[in-house]
């Protein structure tokens, strides 16, 4: 144990012994111990007259005069006031988050112009007061005391609300993990995947496990995983098992006991995870084809009404895809999903159709002999969920929030500021304040924040005016391309893993809570059972769901843009892409055919493969069948229960891995272009070399031309070219 920690433990023990001795002293001590505090500073503190008096009392000395002690107690409390800010960090945030607007006049005098602008760009009250408190903590002790006295005078808090230094126990049950264990690759991977640092960051600082510089280093991190890596690096720098046990205590106390238990299981080589039956599965669909009027009636039904008629507890309908009738299902577990895929699939489809056709609005469109075809397949995420005419449906201010980081380079400060003044979206006082700072990027960020927070009608007027200016053409085009819902969805699909890694419980809560027609199964798993199910499993299920629902997708876009620092690179959808090719693998999924019959005035759905008495038609077979025929071979292996790689399975495999291969390709090209750009000292452009050794021969019709960076010799693009 270091000398500073030892001295702190001594003082804490002394105070405890005074209390045990029945002393009526109510003074609350708080010791400010920073990582860079010298031992001499601690010793000077210990030899203060007030502290010496406490030591004497602990050794059995007599009590001083009550009046003298009361005055001394008041002085000690006042001297402790500057240090109480840190030890009450989380409680102050809770008390002040809803009153931060009342403090605006005082903060305008207390903070610098740069600090005022950064605080002003935060809409969430808790994050706003968090930033204010951190700015105060950067000041000296005198300013700490002045701030705390202001809070007491305005009755935002009372002195009784302030707590003393919170001692974190170094208990034996938390010493199972050592600093060396956190350096094991399997534990690091597990922590990186599961830990939500923002939920414990304030407590780590308040309990003196990290200092303010380390806190802000994690706060500035560009992603959740980077935050975890910084925290693990801090842990390795400490290399102190006492610190590690206190960190484990924080995990267990503030909602991460599952992570603590998982790390202990990994160390002890126990299996961790959940049973397959406990994790819901999204992705199965019923794709239906029938008469046009019936399809329209089915698409107009709400998901809640469809589920009420189906009454299937294992599977819930979450919505339909435009342009066809494809019912997207959320299955209660992997086991339920497998049963849907294998066991008596045709009868399940018939039961499903029978429940749908009993709906009043659908029943009106039916006629005897009407044919229904239905397939059970996996959801094809490459197909749009919004028709082309409704794709550019995202508000301008939401589009600005999504691409705010990318807009900084295209923004011209003077031109935009003049437009904002002209449309009365910024006053002269704010313009004068902005002129006081020399940080151009901060001014740009603030102007972009004003645009993103403005009313939609005014924003349209400003952007229409900006389009007339040649200097702002790229700025407006950038915003316009992000207004497409399908482009945003395509971007999420392209960077699916990066987005999944970033999603935490707070993002899921803010997206789902208060939204209508969200399945209870989804909210239970993603929010209410968060402590029992891994973050990775919940994030994947959540992301798969929002990619199928236009309204929830736009709600997520607004939340993700404000709560995450991940920068997304725009990816064009099938509507906006220059390449309009929509070729896809042939769908070999078998379709079941059903017919509607009128039985005593009621419509009954029957399979065309069965007679009315329920017996199947006999299969036609030739006298001699060759097993070299693929059709006959498939029938044989299916009947015998032997494994067979069918066209259907090959198609599913292709669709599954095609998406991941495309994502890796796009990401690789982006990284290569960035590497090539960074290789130039004076960047006016980049040079490329093309690889076409097998192209443009005498008989060559097609060729693949590969572009390589001149400096890095890495692949920057690959295009298919035809001679015609």
Q: State mean pLDDT over 454-477.
A: 90
- Per the prediction, the chain carries an average pLDDT of 79
pLDDT surpassing 90 at residue 50: no
Distance CA 593, CA 607 (A): 6
pLDDT surpassing 70 at residue 48: no
Distance CA 340, CA 319 (A): 18
Nearest to 492 by CA among 439, 454, 549: 549
Distance CA 386, CA 657 (A): 24
Nearest to 31 by CA among 166, 171, 185: 166
Is domain 172-267 in CATH 3.40.30.10, yes or no? no
Which pTM was predicted?
0.70
Q: State mean pLDDT over 41-70.
A: 54
Q: Do domains 172-267 and 395-481 have the same CATH topology?
A: yes
> How many percent of the chain have pLDDT more than 70?
75
pLDDT surpassing 80 at residue 366: yes
395-481 has which CATH code? 1.10.533
**Beta strands 315-320; 325-331: pairing state:** antiparallel
Distance CA 237, CA 233 (A): 6
What's the topology of domain 276-378?
Alpha-Beta Plaits (3.30.70)
Lowest mean per-residue pLDDT among 519-533, 650-664, 685-699: 685-699
Q: State mean pLDDT over 211-238.
A: 94
pLDDT surpassing 50 at residue 482: yes
Residue 76, Cβ density class (10 Å: 0-12 exposed, 13-18 middle, ≥19 buried): buried
Distance CA 506, CA 495 (A): 20
Tens digits of residue pLDDT in 300-347: 888 778 878 787 767 777 777 766 687 777 777 666 666 666 667 888
- Number of residues written out for the chain: 724
Q: pLDDT confidence of 691, banded at 50, 70, 90?
A: low
**Beta strands 325-331; 592-599: pairing state:** unpaired
Distance CA 575, CA 392 (A): 10
Euclidean distance between the first and the last CA atom of the chain, given in angstroms as a whole number: 78
Q: State mean pLDDT over 459-465.
A: 92
Distance CA 438, CA 113 (A): 10
pLDDT at 193: 94
Q: pLDDT confidence of 487, banded at 50, 70, 90?
A: very high
Tens digits of residue pLDDT in 411-423: 889 999 999 999 8
685 against 50, higher pLDDT: 685
Contacts of 528 (CB under 8 A, 6+ apart): none
Residue 327, Cβ density class (10 Å: 0-12 exposed, 13-18 middle, ≥19 buried): buried
> How many percent of the chain have pLDDT more than 90?
32
Q: pLDDT confidence of 174, banded at 50, 70, 90?
A: confident
Residue ranges of the domains in the chain? 3-84, 85-161, 172-267, 276-378, 395-481, 666-722
pLDDT surpassing 70 at residue 462: yes
What residues form DSSP beta bridges with 286?
A: 327, 376
Lowest mean per-residue pLDDT among 438-447, 527-536, 689-698: 689-698
Distance CA 349, CA 287 (A): 10
């Amino acid at each position: 144990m270091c000398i500073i920690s030892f001295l702190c433990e001594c003082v804490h023990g002394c105070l405890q012994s005074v209390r045990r001795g029945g002393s009526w002293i109510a003074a609350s001590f708080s010791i400010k111990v920073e990582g860079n505090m010298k031992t001499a500073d601690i010793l000077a503190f210990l030899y203060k007259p007030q502290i010496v008096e406490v030591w004497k009392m602990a050794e059995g000395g007599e009590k001083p005069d009550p009046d003298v002690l009361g005055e001394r107690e008041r002085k000690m409390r006042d001297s402790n006031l500057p240090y109480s800010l840190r030890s009450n960090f989380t409680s102050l945030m809770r008390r002040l988050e809803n009153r931060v607007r009342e403090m605006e006049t005082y903060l305008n005098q207390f903070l610098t112009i740069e600090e005022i602008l950064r605080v002003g760009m935060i809409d969430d009250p808790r994050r706003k007061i968090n930033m204010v408190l951190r700015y105060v903590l950067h000041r000296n002790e005198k300013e700490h005391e002045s701030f705390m006295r202001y809070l007491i005078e305005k009755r935002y808090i009372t002195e009784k609300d302030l707590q003393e230094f919170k001692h974190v126990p170094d208990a034996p049950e938390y010493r199972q993990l050592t600093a060396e264990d956190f350096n094991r690759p399997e534990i690091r991977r597990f922590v990186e995947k599961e830990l939500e640092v923002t939920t414990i960051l304030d407590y780590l600082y308040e309990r003196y496990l990290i200092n303010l510089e380390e806190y802000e280093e994690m706060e500035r991190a560009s992603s959740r995983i980077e935050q975890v890596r910084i925290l693990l690096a801090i842990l390795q720098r400490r290399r102190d098992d006492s610190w590690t046990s206190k960190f484990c205590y924080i995990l267990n106390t503030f909602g991460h006991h599952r992570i603590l238990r998982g790390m202990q299981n990994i160390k002890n080589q126990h299996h961790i995870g959940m049973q397959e039956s406990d994790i819901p599965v999204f992705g199965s669909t019923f794709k239906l084809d029938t008469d046009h009027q019936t399809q329209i009636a089915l698409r107009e039904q709400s998901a809640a009404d469809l589920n009420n008629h189906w009454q299937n507890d294992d599977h819930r309908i979450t919505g339909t895809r435009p342009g066809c009738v494809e019912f997207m299902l959320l299955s209660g577990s992997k086991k339920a999903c497998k049963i849907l895929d294998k066991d008596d699939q045709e009868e399940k489809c018939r039961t499903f159709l029978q429940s749908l056709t009993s709906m009043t609005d659908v029943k009106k469109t039916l006629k005897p002999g009407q044919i229904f075809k239905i397939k059970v397949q996996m959801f094809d995420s490459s197909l749009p969920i919004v028709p082309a005419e409704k794709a550019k449906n995202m508000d301008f201010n939401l589009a600005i929030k999504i691409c705010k980081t990318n807009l900084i380079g295209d923004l011209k400060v003077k031109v935009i500021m003049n437009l904002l003044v002209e449309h009365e979206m910024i006053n002269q006082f704010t313009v004068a304040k902005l002129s006081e700072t020399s940080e151009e990027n901060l001014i740009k960020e603030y102007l972009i924040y004003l645009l993103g927070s403005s009313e939609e009608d005014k924003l349209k007027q400003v952007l229409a005016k900006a389009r007339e200016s040649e200097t702002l053409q790229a700025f407006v085009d950038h915003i316009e391309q992000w207004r497409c819902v399908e482009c945003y969805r395509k971007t999420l699909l392209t960077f699916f893993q990066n987005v999944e890694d970033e999603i935490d419980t707070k993002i899921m809560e803010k997206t789902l809570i208060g939204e209508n027609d969200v399945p209870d199964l989804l909210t239970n798993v993603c929010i209410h059972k968060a402590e029992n199910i891994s973050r990775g499993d919940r994030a994947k299920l959540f992301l798969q769901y929002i990619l199928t629902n236009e309204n929830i997708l736009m709600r997520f876009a607004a939340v993700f843009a404000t709560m995450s620092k991940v920068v997304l690179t725009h990816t064009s959808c099938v509507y906006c892409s220059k390449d309009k090719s929509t070729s896809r693998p042939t769908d070999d999924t078998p379709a079941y055919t059903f017919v509607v019959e009128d039985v005593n005035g009621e419509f009954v759905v029957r399979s065309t493969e069965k007679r009315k008495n329920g017996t199947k038609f006999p299969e036609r077979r030739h006298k001699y069948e060759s097993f070299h025929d693929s059709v006959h071979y498939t029938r044989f292996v299916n009947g015998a229960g032997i494994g067979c790689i069918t066209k259907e399975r090959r198609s599913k495999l292709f669709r599954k891995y095609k998406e991941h291969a495309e994502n890796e390709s796009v990401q690789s090209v982006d990284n290569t272009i960035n590497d090539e750009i960074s290789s130039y000292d004076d960047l006016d452009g980049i040079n490329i070399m093309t690889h076409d050794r097998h192209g443009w021969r005498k008989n060559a019709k097609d060729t693949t031309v590969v572009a390589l960076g001149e400096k890095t010799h890495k692949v920057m693009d690959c295009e298919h070219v035809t001679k015609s």
